[in-house]
A and B are shown apart, each in its own frame.
Chain A
Amino acid sequence: MKRALVVDDSLVVRNYHVSLLKTLSLEVETAENGAQAYEKCLQNSYDLILCDVNMPVMDGYRFTKKVRELDNYEKVPIILVTTLNSEQDRKKALLAGATLFIVKPMNFDILKKMLEAVL
């Protein structure tokens, strides 16, 4: 069974994403911020990471940059969830190493299609 990691500082948002990913038959783990997520990535492997951008301690961009440097995470799909829809943020996300980025509040169907595409 494929395993996903959901990273967001909001419990409500985490629950939502977990629920969504479970309907796609994934096993899901969560983290509250980039630092916690990074530690989890050190210990485990994931097939997909869905990560918010604005979080305390370590944000999504920084997390993505760091996790890409780990041996087994070069190609893992990382979807960054941003609140801004600007060219600048798109660039920032991709420069950090994200596979895709999606703007919240996200369209449910688009998100689902995106997830199905990368898994």
Chain B
Amino acid sequence: MLTQETFNEIRKIIKKYSGITFEDKKKYFLENRVSQHMRELGLTSVKDYLLALRLSQERVRELVSKCTVNETYFYREFYQLEAFAEELLPEIDAKKQKIRVLSIPCSTGEEPYTIALIVNEVLGDLKRLKIVGVDIDYAALRKAEEGIYDDRSVSKLPDAYLLKYFSRNGRGWEVKPLLRRAVHFMEGNILDRHFMRSLGEFEFVFCKNLLIYFDAREQRVAAAHLYDVLAEDGYLFLGHAESMSRISSAFKAVKVKEAIAYQKEEEDEE
């Protein structure tokens, strides 16, 4: 449906807007999203569609939203959450007044809400907690703000937590206000340095399965920004198959229970 030339053109636009790189083998995937978008816009010619993309950032934003993968659910990658809950959270709790957590990308909100839940369970309350969830996908963020999830999303949560933190209504499982209040959602791009600087610092940063979407250059930029938002003794978690070892030497890996987390590398001695 898309010629190689058009495909290249579109992925250039997407990359410019979001930093995401689309490999050749994802052409089919992109074509699907483009046809869907064209249908919604009532366009039948690819040429008109390209024009629409070039003329309006809003259209690009919509396309990007369709392309980001939102496969997520509560309690994902449990071994990391375990390390967080059992070792790191108590460690930071003893040292700091405020516990700030950044979840980027936060997608439809499962991750930040999960973290809020865990903090409440471990520390007993959320008074000192502030969680920020960031994503470039505004549609996902809207869902996150709504906080209503289907059975599949919550399938990994222990029943006791489900009953304690969610209320069941006609549309699904709704996050209770206790958790909702602890999370603040924002639209933004990890590659945007002004935006990232405006976020301040966090004791914990969760950046799962985002770096893999970038090429080497963008990965380094993203890593530099993650460094900026991480507090001096803070901890960074990446996705299970991801590693900083190819990207930046400014972090050091530490083992926490079964998980690997990253902290800022100390300055070199002479």
Q: A and B touching (C-beta < 8 Å)? A: yes
Residue numbers of A with Cβ under 8 A of B are: 31-33, 35-36, 38-39, 42-43, 57-58, 66
Nearest CB of chain B from residue A38's CB, rounded to whole Å: 6
How many residue pairs bridge A and B at CB < 8 Å? 33
Residues of B within 8 A of A57 (CB): 245-246, 248-249
Contact yes or no, B255 A33, CB < 8 A: no
Interface of A is mostly: helix
State whether B248 touches A39 (Cβ < 8 A): no
From B245, B248, B260, A43 is in contact (CB under 8 Å) with B260
| Chain B interface residues toward A at CB < 8 A | 243-246, 248-249, 252-255, 260
Contact A33 B245 (CB under 8 A): yes
Greatest chain A CB density within 10 A among B248, B253, B255, B260 is at B253
Residues of A within 8 A of B246 (CB): 32-33, 35-36, 57
Q: Looking at B243, B244, B249, B252, which has the most chain A CB atoms within 10 Å of its CB?
A: B249
Q: For residue B249, which residues in chain A have a CB less than 8 angstroms away from its CB? A: 35, 57-58
How far does the Cβ of B239 sit from chain A's closest Cβ, in whole Å? 14
The answer on a CB contact under 8 Å between A35 and B255 is no
Shortest distance in angstroms between A93's beta carbon and chain B's nearest beta carbon? Answer: 18
Alpha-carbon distance A55/B35, docked complex (angstroms) = 46
A29 to chain B, nearest CB (A): 14
The CA of A66 and the CA of B249, in the complex, are separated in Å by 13
**Across the interface, which residues of A come within 8 angstroms of B252, CB to CB?**
66
